[in-house]
Amino acid sequence: MESRQSESAAPSPAQLLDSGSDWVAKLSLSKLSRRTFLKTGAAAVVGLSLGGVAEPAYAAAGNGPGNPDDTVPFGPVVVDDAGPGASYARALRLSGLRPGSSQTFLATFQQFNFSQAGGFPIFRSTDGGRIWQPLSNVPNNGDAGRFWLQPYLYELPRAFAGFPKDTVLCAANSLDFSSTKIVLYASVDQGVTWQFLSTVAVGGPPVAQNGNTPVWEPFLLLHRDRLICYYSDQRDPSYGQKLAHQTSTDLLTWGPVVNDAVGETYSNRPGMTTVAQVHESLWIMTYEYGVSDTYYPVRYKLAADPERFAESPALELLDQDGYAPSAAPTVSWSDSGDPMGTIVVSANSDQDFFLNRALGDPGKWTRLSSPMPRGYSRFTIPLESPGSWRRPGFVFVVTGAPYGEQAPIEAGVIALQ
């Protein structure tokens, strides 16, 4: 799909596909349970290097400890009816609480109502997402002189860069009419107060058209000894837009720009990275692939190392009828429903979710209907199910309006039936 990617590395799992082949059989995993698989040297089976020890799968999705036995689907419920322009909702389930208390969530969103104070409102729920109350704002003072888009909340799964385990990070796009900036904030008190840490990347004016130079849409992941910040980058003159990342060991300084996905032609616009770990040696990255001003089909990549997606080919996400969802995808992974778990993808185009219980096999995507409304970059947090993987999994969902529409910020829990 993307001929400009590096060709120097070992093949990814996706490159092992032959026409009509069985994905799980290719990985020699069809008779292994998920937990058995996690304990094996599975990367050696497929000829891949692990590239170091990864964080647990739940850490990649921002999840906390296991959820109580009485989890049931509910919603949608209103987090905040913020008026026009509320979208791009994000949430985080806090794990830094007493054992067994995994029902506290934080949520935030972007808003195009520039008459209000800048920054992102933080809401908190202590009952699993049913009732929400205002908690704080990022940044603390609002910074009304700038506009704020595309927040992302992430909880450190271990102590890192002088910050304790369970520190909450917020990455965002802070912009005015002359620049865009990917910035990073931290909270050591579960989201009550926030401190500025660093600027990851600086781009030009916020014009989402080829030939301009802004940066967009950060996503965070702690991997090995580095925090990765993925984002969309229009600054490279070779591409209208590409996906890239930078890493930091101290949350203050950032390394060089590393490509993750580029277009087949200059005019293509890969955008909106999200990443999840689907087992010990396999990661998935989803994104939209702009082929025109109105069509952004979902693409994804699979890699043994989340810092080396550039070496993997792009795959189309197609359901069993050959339908391609489009725009603003997000991805997460649930430890439920199959020995290999369940990959969960959302897209702006559909109220349905798209599931894969075969480690991302391109021929195994199915649809799941749900009462949760579709939304621009609708976000999911899998809730680990107690006991057997055979039990249905549950996923917390937070969403706002679809692109160009108006709706409240809403939340709920769905079952992965």
Q: What is the 3-state secondary structure (H, E, C) of 217-233?
A: EEEEEEECCEEEEEEEE
Q: Residue 411: pLDDT above 60? A: yes
Residue that wins the pLDDT comparison between 54 and 315: 315
Q: Which residues pair with 282 in a beta bridge?
A: 279
What's the pLDDT at 84? 84
Rg of the chain (C-alpha set): 20
Tokens representing residue 334 in the block: 């649930």
Predicted TM-score (pTM) of the model is 0.85
Residues 6 or more apart whose CB falls under 8 angstroms from that of 294 comprise: none
Could you give the domains of the chain? Answer: 13-416 (2.120.10.10)
Tokens representing residue 8 in the block: 């120097």
Half-sphere exposure in the Cβ direction for 238 (13 Å, CA): 9
DSSP letters along 121-138, please? EEEEESSSSSS-EEEEEE
Measure the CA–CA gap between 169 and 184, rounded to whole angstroms. 7
DSSP SS3 for 300 = strand
Average pLDDT value for residue range 338-342: 91
Question: Which residue, 168, 169, 184, 178, is CA-closest to 145?
Answer: 178
Tokens representing residue 140 in the block: 């603390």
- pLDDT of 296-324, one tens digit each? 999 999 999 999 999 999 999 999 999 99
The residue count of the chain comes to: 417
